Each structure stands twice: as structure tokens, then as C-alpha cells.
């Protein structure tokens, strides 16, 4: 028989695998993240705390110049439309010379609730081998916790099942973890100890 503690953790692991697919959780310094996947979908949730102006944090998660700066691996990031509290941004990512993906995202700013929501409008691949994004959406949420602000990032995505979908999910996990670390570093550089109001 397994020792008590080992048995408990083994039971928890079985429950996680049976109910949620593959789960990856990580706590690193100031960053907490969790990646959950099935055969053709995933969810990612990451967060970090910071002392900063909440409006500055909303700015870097919404405005085009910052969105572009936070996607250095993209071949192209273009602003294709905007209003007072929304914008639409397209991304082109290319791996080697073989795989190319273009997506368009609609983003909405909710100043009152300190939140930015984003939804996939379209996704195009240059080859049928790549899994197609059926749907994807998520948000950035700024929350007060004592003297700190918590920046929370969440995304869910459903893909078609192709021969390389599992490989794509593995890459998506690495990219999501890399992104939340980059966002944390960017927020530290740009927003820490800024107290002026920035969003017009």
C-alpha cells in the first residue's frame, strides 16, 4: 500500500488527468501559471503582482504600440481598426519558410472593471497540415490585492485535430509561459511606480 501522502497525491493526479486532460502548473518568482490541454484544446492562466498604476497596466495590454512590442517573434503586427474602447489587430507568424498563420483579434477595453477582453475574429494557415484555430478568446484583468496589483492573463483555444496538433499544443504551452514572463518584465520596466494617468 502507498504511504498516506503519496497515495493522496497519486489520487489527485488521477483526478486531474481524468477530468482536465494534461495539466501543467508552475510557480516561478512572482509568476503563477497553469496550462491545461486536451487532444485539441487548451486553456492558459497566468498572473503576477506589481506595484504600478492600473491605468498604465491597462494601456500596455490594450494599446497597439505595446501589443506590438509584446510580440517580437511575430513577422507582422498591424492595427487594422480602432475606436475609443476597442481595436482590431492582425498578427502574422511564420516558422521557417513552411508554416504561416495570420490571425485577426478584436480587443475591448473596460476601464471601469480594469479589464481587456480579446476574441479571435479569423485565422488562416498557408497549409492544411497545421491545426486550424476554431475559436479562441481571453482577457487581461487588473485586480487590487492590498498594496499590490494582480495582473491576470487568460486564454482558451479550440483547434482542429491534425497530425501535428499535439506538437502545436506543446509549442503553445512554451509560448504562453514565455509571454507571461515577458509581460511581467515589460510591466516592471514601463509601469512600476508610475502614478500619472495615461489612458485618454
Q: Is residue 118 pLDDT above 60, yes or no?
A: yes
Residue 196 is predicted with a pLDDT of 42
Average pLDDT value over all residues in the chain:
85
CA of 30: how far to CAs of 24, 46, 115, in Å?
17, 11, 21
Beta-carbon contacts of 105 under 8 Å, excluding residues fewer than 6 positions away, are 88, 89, 90, 91, 118, 119, 120, 121
Q: What pLDDT shows up at residue 146?
A: 87
High-pLDDT (> 70) share of the chain, %: 80
Q: Residue 45: how many CB atoms within 10 A of its CB?
A: 18
Q: Considering the entire predicted model, what is its pTM?
A: 0.82
pLDDT attached to residue 198:
42
More confident residue, 5 or 96: 96
Amino acid at each position: 500500500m502507498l504511504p498516506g501522502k503519496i497515495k493522496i497525491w497519486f489520487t489527485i493526479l488521477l483526478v486531474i488527468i481524468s477530468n482536465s486532460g494534461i495539466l501543467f502548473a508552475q510557480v516561478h518568482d512572482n509568476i503563477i501559471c497553469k496550462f491545461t490541454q486536451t487532444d485539441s484544446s487548451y486553456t492558459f492562466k497566468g498572473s503576477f503582482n506589481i506595484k504600478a498604476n492600473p491605468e498604465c497596466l491597462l494601456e500596455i495590454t490594450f494599446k497597439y504600440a505595446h501589443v506590438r512590442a509584446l510580440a517580437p517573434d511575430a513577422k507582422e503586427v498591424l492595427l487594422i481598426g480602432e475606436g475609443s474602447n476597442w481595436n482590431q489587430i492582425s498578427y502574422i507568424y511564420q516558422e521557417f519558410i513552411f508554416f504561416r498563420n495570420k490571425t485577426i483579434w478584436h480587443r475591448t477595453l473596460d476601464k471601469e472593471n480594469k479589464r481587456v477582453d480579446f476574441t479571435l475574429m479569423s485565422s488562416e494557415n498557408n497549409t492544411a497540415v497545421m491545426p486550424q484555430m476554431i475559436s479562441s478568446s481571453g482577457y487581461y484583468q487588473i485586480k487590487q490585492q492590498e498594496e499590490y496589483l494582480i495582473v491576470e492573463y487568460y486564454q482558451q483555444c479550440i483547434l482542429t485535430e491534425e497530425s501535428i496538433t499535439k506538437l502545436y499544443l506543446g509549442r503553445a504551452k512554451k509560448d504562453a509561459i514565455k509571454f507571461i514572463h515577458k509581460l511581467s518584465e515589460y510591466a516592471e520596466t514601463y509601469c512600476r511606480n508610475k502614478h500619472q494617468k495615461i489612458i485618454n
